[in-house]
Amino acid sequence: MTTPLAIKRMTRERQVLEKENSDYFVRFEDNDLLEFEAYVVGPDDTLYQHKLIKLHFEIPENYPMVPPKVTFLQHSGHRIHPNLYVEGKVCLSILGTWAGEPWAFGMNCNTVLITIRSLLDNEPYKHEPGREDDPQFNRFVEYTTWRWLLLDYLEREAQPAAREFLLKHLRERGSRMMDELRRQQAAHSQIVQFASPYINGPSNIRPEYPHLIQELSDFIAEAQEQVPATSGGIKRPLDESPPAPTNVQHTTDEPERQQPKRAKTEEEDNDTSHIIDLTFSSSPEPEGSDSEGKEATGMAKSTFAPAKASAE
């Protein structure tokens, strides 16, 4: 029996996708090569830093002649980027969901992941055709994504490998997360309500920083308590580097210890060079579209408290 082209291609791609790196985390379920989930890590120094974008990939049988089907997984809230819809649509020309540069045979799942990550910047509303930067939307994204792109995932992720990735994410970034959240609390002390052009009428989302800080702090504490056994059980404060090795030479016959995995760089992965630079995402929609405020099927309601006052 001839092995389908998609299986052959994904057998090779899986080896690259599952390598530890700083851009994303990929998890395949058992030996199913035609379906997997991924967490894209928000770039540093952007509105999405420390946050995550969860995606579900379905690989068609005639892949890579056609692109994969990619679904954005957001459990609650409203739209946080022009290219990403609460109901799951990912708007990219290479996925066939928008006019523009089409999918090419030389592209792969890594291309899709890196392209989506490249869209997470400090001026997301400019990715909407014909729109300019919107400072109010920027503040909306910066605040709400703490829950919708981080805390919601921490509350719901049950798959062991994916959950360990989330806890590792907290162990590595916890101190910086708390510092950034407190910085935003001070900077937004005069804001009464966060506004979004995708919400029809008042957003009813007001700052609740103390609640967010407490929730995040609890998850960080959980992450610190659940250090994997492979780490030797040694717990260190967040962001503290391990002690420098000494110059003592051991003369035992024990084999050398395996070096820890090193995060790959773009130079090491030949597939990362094909990043699609997109400046738009979807056709213009009427501002305040009702569909943007709806929660996806089976998704929990946001715990943000309703505002009692008008926007800033």
Please give the positions annotated as active site.
Answer: 91
Pairing, β 35-41 against β 52-58: antiparallel
Q: How far apart are CA 278 and CA 152, in angstroms?
A: 28
E-strand stretches of the chain: 24-28, 35-41, 52-58, 69-73
Residue 123 neighbours by CB under 8 Å, 6+ apart: 133, 138
Q: How far apart are CA 146 and CA 38, in angstroms?
A: 18
DSSP letter for each residue of 88-142: SBB--GGGTSSSSSPP-TT--HHHHHHHHHHT-SS-GGGGSTT----HHHHHHHH
3-state secondary structure (DSSP) of residue 39: strand
Any idea what the Cα angle at residue 289 is, between residues 283 and 293, rounded to 5°? Answer: 120
- Partners of 40 in the β-ladder: 24, 53
Q: How far apart are CA 53 and CA 84, in angstroms?
A: 9
280: alpha, beta or left, given left = phi > 0 and alpha = psi -120 to 50?
beta
